[in-house]
């Protein structure tokens, strides 16, 4: 294998590529979102500059992927914090936990998604939509919502999912133990079809865990909830701030 052939593989190990090097299409991606108010000081401790916290709001999510090119079905859960950057309002992806190794690795390597392995689940039980996240045998989060309680306007549902999203991309330098890149990046979903959308009363519990610190952003008040079914394609990220050189790109 010559060097060019190796580069075309895109991932290691070279003989067994983990994920495809192309845009990924999600069919029947199911969202369970709960927006809640939390401690403003707790947010200031975890949101990196130059982003600012406008309101102390967090969106807890559980996403069930019905069919994903190259990965198959899986489930994901995380927290997104409402922020502002240069007058633009969006969400900072704080944490994401999922039960698919390839999707975890590709999210971290090809983009900047803060993904780690976990055991999320989304199901319907006795008239309630139930989203959970476990780490091993320990419960991290339990979310419930009345199942298909009230219709939610499809354009409002799309607006929830297509807000600008910010993440921090760190690329370690394996030779110096420093960083080759450290950027704040931005992306925004634009290729989306909302099939169904619902809202209703909801509750959320977060539990303490040293390795999955979701409870560091405590639930003070649940403000809204939504259950949305979509088809979409994730967009690539673009750098908006270079931490190593102190400037926007």
* Residues classed as catalytic: 115
Nearest of 42, 85, 106 to residue 234 by alpha carbon: 106
> How many other C-beta atoms are found inside a 10 Å radius of the C-beta of residue 151?
11
Enumerate residues 6+ apart whose C-beta is below 8 A from 134: 118, 119, 120, 121, 140
- Sign of the CA dihedral running 233, 222, 78, 240: positive
Q: How far apart (Å, rounded) are the C-alpha atoms in residues 72 and 58?
A: 28
Helix (H) or strand (E) holding 155: helix 154-161
Beta bridge partners of 221: 37
Instruction: Please tell me the number of Cα atoms within 13 Å of 217 on its side-chain side.
Output: 28
């Amino acid at each position: 294998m010559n060097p060019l052939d190796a580069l075309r593989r895109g991932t290691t190990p070279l003989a067994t590529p983990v994920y495809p090097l192309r845009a990924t299409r999600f069919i029947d991606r199911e969202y369970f979102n709960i927006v809640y108010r939390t401690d403003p000081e707790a947010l200031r401790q975890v949101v990196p500059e130059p982003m600012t916290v406008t309101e102390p709001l967090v969106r807890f999510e559980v996403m069930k992927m019905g069919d994903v090119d190259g990965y198959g079905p899986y489930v994901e859960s995380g927290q997104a914090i409402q922020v502002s950057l240069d007058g633009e309002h969006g969400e900072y992806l704080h944490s994401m936990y999922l039960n698919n190794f390839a999707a975890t690795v590709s999210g971290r390597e090809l983009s900047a998604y803060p993904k780690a392995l976990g055991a999320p689940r989304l199901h319907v039980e006795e008239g309630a939509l139930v989203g959970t996240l476990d780490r091993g045998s320990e419960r991290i989060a339990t979310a419930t919502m009345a199942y298909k309680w009230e219709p939610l306007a499809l354009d409002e549902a799309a607006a929830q999912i297509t807000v600008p999203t910010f993440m921090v991309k760190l690329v370690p330098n394996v030779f110096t133990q420093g960083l080759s890149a450290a950027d704040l990046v931005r992306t925004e979903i634009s290729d989306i079809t909302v099939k169904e959308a619902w809202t209703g009363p909801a509750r959320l519990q977060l539990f303490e865990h040293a390795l999955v610190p979701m409870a560091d952003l405590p639930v003070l008040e649940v403000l809204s909830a939504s259950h949305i079914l979509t088809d979409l394609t994730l967009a690539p990220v673009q750098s908006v701030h270079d931490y190593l050189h102190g400037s926007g790109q």
